[in-house]
Structure 1
């Protein structure tokens, strides 16, 4: 993808984040072209332009050229698209009206963000950083080796509660209320994406991997209007990410 020539977009600014939920405190900021508010880069969705002027979601924020950023949810994006506000904002950002915005951009954005999250989970699974299965997760959790704990959206409350307890024991945080994150994905979606049967609970055994997953998870959850975490609000050095342990024992 590319952007029109000679165009320094105001939405692609760099600065210091002020407590973005999905990035460290020193992460660069970007400004939402719809609201004008600045947030950590990891909190926003990047839009880029194809060579023929088609506006497309760049869920990985890696497409060539500079892009425009949005920090609104799917409903707000759809409303901005319908009202013409998005077209006007992008025309001002790119200094050109020669842009084509697909009518299904909100759906494309949701699909791209979901795929980015699932792709990241798949990469962590293949690298051995993501583990599955209640028994294995419970054992690793009790030994303090779990950096982040996740539950499918349709996981049973009892199953999640038992793993949450094992995690707190391993972290030495009994009584704190720390719990794993409920993913905005059900077990069928996770199972198909990861190529395993009945994926209900997941855990990361590496702190850096937990940070890598937090970015696409936060973007996807924000866009679809789902809170990305249900854990303890004090995640310490983990970048203030709920459900991610600050330390590894």
Structure 2
């Protein structure tokens, strides 16, 4: 663990992971629990690494309320009925904002020919497809990516996003964005982390997930027995950093 990549523990599962892979929950002044996906809200936060379905079950069974009460140590907490939806919306917005930032910085490729050329030359670090992209186009770019990485015959393929080309185009400030490529490994890592949090929470179809690459990595969770002493909350982050 480094100072720039602190580890946190999910208050529901006990799994430990870099906080960039988790979702922070913060307590508003009136006691309501709200998502703080950018980890900027002041005060103590609690972290979760569950899917939306797991969260809804934890809410229904009262497990989330108990875990939050122990984490915040402030007495009763108020959990909005639409907390899962609020988290999903915030994670989607954060992922699309990250794509938009990379687009404005010039680190993002669009257009099948440009992406294919970068893929075949081994310069592509991350490949994304809109949900309504054609299968033929996806296969063509996926194959080019495998060729450029000397991984022909492997399962390496681009990530099919749960958003259409229209939404993707709006997020990037472009027109008719069907496929997206990133050549810079650092940019790919930033986008990959934002997408991982969002897709993990909404529970994507495993068959659409890309194979592990140097820029993406495996799911960064480590299971730790309950009561191990790992922090449930970011008590050392009281400034909201």
Give the shorter-chain TM-score range: 0.7 to 0.9
Instruction: Identify the structure with bigger relative contact order (alpha carbons < 8 Å, sequence gap 6+).
Output: 2
Match among 194, 217, 227 for residue 240 of structure 1: 217
* Residue of structure 2 in register with 1:74 after alignment: 52
Q: TM-score, normalised by structure 2?
A: 0.82
Question: Match of 1:150, SS?
Answer: strand
Match among 116, 131, 136 for residue 114 of structure 2: 136
Question: Match of 2:131, SS?
Answer: coil
Contact 2:31/2:78 (8 A) holds in 1: yes
Superposed displacement of residue 36, structure 1? 2.1
Superposed displacement of residue 171, structure 1? 2.6
Superposed displacement of residue 172, structure 1? 3.1
Superposed displacement of residue 239, structure 1? 5.3
How many residue pairs match? The answer is 217
* Residue of structure 2 in register with 1:188 after alignment: 166
Structure 2 unaligned spans of 5+: 220-241
Contact 2:186/2:215 (8 A) holds in 1: no
- The change in CA–CA distance for 1:132 and 1:241 in structure 2 (over 3 A counts) is farther
* Residue of structure 1 in register with 2:73 after alignment: 95
* Residue of structure 2 in register with 1:33 after alignment: 11
For the pair 1:215 / 2:193, whether they are aligned, the reply is yes
Distance 1:239 1:107 in 2: 26
Q: Within 5 Å, give how 1:34-73 maps onto structure 2.
A: 34-73=12-51
Structure 1 unaligned spans of 5+: 1-14, 17-25, 243-249
* Residue of structure 2 in register with 1:198 after alignment: 176
Q: TM-score, normalised by structure 1?
A: 0.79
Contact 1:221/1:227 (8 A) holds in 2: no
For the pair 1:163 / 2:121, whether they are aligned, the reply is no
Question: Match of 1:47, SS?
Answer: strand
Aligned-pair RMSD on alpha carbons? 2.2
Q: 97-106 or 115-124, which moves further after superposition?
A: 97-106
Superposed displacement of residue 71, structure 1? 1.2
* Residue of structure 1 in register with 2:234 after alignment: none
* Residue of structure 2 in register with 1:118 after alignment: 96
* Residue of structure 1 in register with 2:209 after alignment: 230
Contact 1:130/1:205 (8 A) holds in 2: yes
